[in-house]
Amino acid sequence: MKICVLNGSPKGNESVTMQYVRFLERANPGHTFTTENIGQRIAAIEAKEEEFKKVIAAIESADAILFATPVYFLLVPAQFKRFIELLFSHNAGSAFFGKYAASITTSIHFFDHTANEYLHAVAEDLGMRWTGSFMAKMDDLLIEMHQEELVRFGQDFLTTAQQHPAIRRTYLPITSTRPDYKSAGIPMPLDCGDKQVLILTDAAPGSNLEKMTMRLASSFGKAASLVPIDDAKMNGGCLGCCRCAFDNTCVYTDGFSEFWKETVLPADIIIFAGTVKDRYLSAEFKQVFDRSFFMGHIPAFAGKQVGFLIEGPVAQCATLQEILRAYPSLQGANLAGVVSDEDGIAMAVDELIDSLAARCLRLSKSGYVAPGGFPAVAGHKIFRDDIWAEMRAFFRADHAYYTKHGLYDFPQSDLRQRLSTTFLSLLLSIPSVRESAQKEMKKHMIEPFEKVFSESPVLKRQKKEG
């Protein structure tokens, strides 16, 4: 069989992900693998029709498609995202239709599931049948057990592609209705005090999004800066070189780092106003997120409010919604809300926009950042462990930040807790103590809270303030 590998890495053949593909190729000499280095060659593929056609011809002549890509910012790199947009804008679905597809990603397992879900959904939108994802941690291939897993994944993919079984579609097609939005008048500006608001937008002239951003900006009055994404001055997508790891200096000197530090980071309230393209925001927006990687793995938006203003069917894109919910909390910020133009009634959209503005401001003034829950807690632990274990040799800026801000909060470092847990474990190995503890389990679980109700300084303050 002929397998067409679509490589999303901007590093081309020198990519970690491609080593997994090389391994698969060696393990399956009876099949032919041809690789298209999409992420690396996106500029030429986008600019030259014949380059795009060459890729499509390779896809057409293949029996099955393998997406192979690193995970960048909870998705695929912006360059690969752009290619996916080109497939839809060029109506290239027929080249893929009916073929079997799978994906291989490498990452540090931080939101690799969302990247793979995205590829899965896009593959189904292109009429393909999804056989599965292989989500590797970067160095897994060095370990024999993972090499075995990869071989079995390859066998399953190739066998399925050969046998043509029926496969259930997982993601429903998007039904796009585009109600025209027109704001009913201009809202009274809120009293923003000294809060700064940034609205970063990729709105096309005359679009719903442009009108929505205008209304939101009016709500914030003079506090708002409405900044088109072009002002980010990007000459290209993140190259994945990780040269920034040492001291947060990007190899690009196109002005993006200054833009991020001087225009985005000082804002108290950040609104990302974007348009849904396929099942994510635009590749330009993705490029902004990817390029912000020069700041490393730190919560760069700590204490800020983040909102999303979206044109397009965000409610139908579960993975996009998960990413929008997770991104602010992973950056240490609070998600104030997501507003879209899906509600056909303009007045309802107006109300949602006004509420978003008021909520951003109220929460910014009170300083509320919701506990992030599973994604933020799990994300922190992955970063903490990986930076400390190996990445700190290169990611020195991260290491310095984690040390300074107490983010290396390993449970092993809490000596008091370790001693009390050891003592309690010994105690509970005495049958009579264990029996009585088991009987009183519920009571013991809430016992420590009792003193909170009598001693909490927060409750005392609240009582005083009425």
Ligand X SMILES: Cc1cc2nc3c(=O)[nH]c(=O)nc-3n(C[C@H](O)[C@H](O)[C@H](O)COP(=O)(O)O)c2cc1C
Residues near ligand X, by CB under 6 A:
9, 11, 15-17, 70-74, 106-112, 138, 238, 240, 242, 290, 293
| Cβ count near 323 (within 10 Å) | 23
The encoded tokens of residue 86 equal 């080109």
Name the residue nearer to ligand X (CB basis): 278 or 386. Answer: 386
Name the residue nearer to ligand X (CB basis): 19 or 225. Answer: 19
Q: Using CA atoms, how far apart are residues 22 and 249, in angstroms rounded to an integer?
A: 32
Query: Least distance (Å) from ligand X to the CB of residue 179?
Result: 33
Query: Least distance (Å) from ligand X to the CB of residue 51?
Result: 21
CB 274 within 8 A of CB 282: yes
CB 184 within 8 A of CB 353: no
Name the residue nearer to ligand X (CB basis): 138 or 151. Answer: 138
Query: Least distance (Å) from ligand X to the CB of residue 355?
Result: 31
Name the residue nearer to ligand X (CB basis): 107 or 213. Answer: 107
What is the CA angle 234-235-238, rounded to 5?
75
Sheet order of strands, 305-311 included: 224-228, 197-201, 269-275, 305-311, 334-340
Beta partners for residue 280, in sequence order = 277
Name the residue nearer to ligand X (CB basis): 143 or 433. Answer: 143
In 200-345, where does DSSP find H-type helix?
208-220, 256-259, 283-291, 318-330
The contacts of residue 333 (CB under 8 Å, 6+ apart) are 270, 299, 301, 302, 303, 304, 305, 306, 369
Query: Least distance (Å) from ligand X to the CB of residue 225?
Result: 26
Name the residue nearer to ligand X (CB basis): 106 or 331. Answer: 106
CB 203 within 8 A of CB 210: yes
Q: Using CA atoms, how far apart are residues 75 and 283, in angstroms rounded to an integer?
A: 11
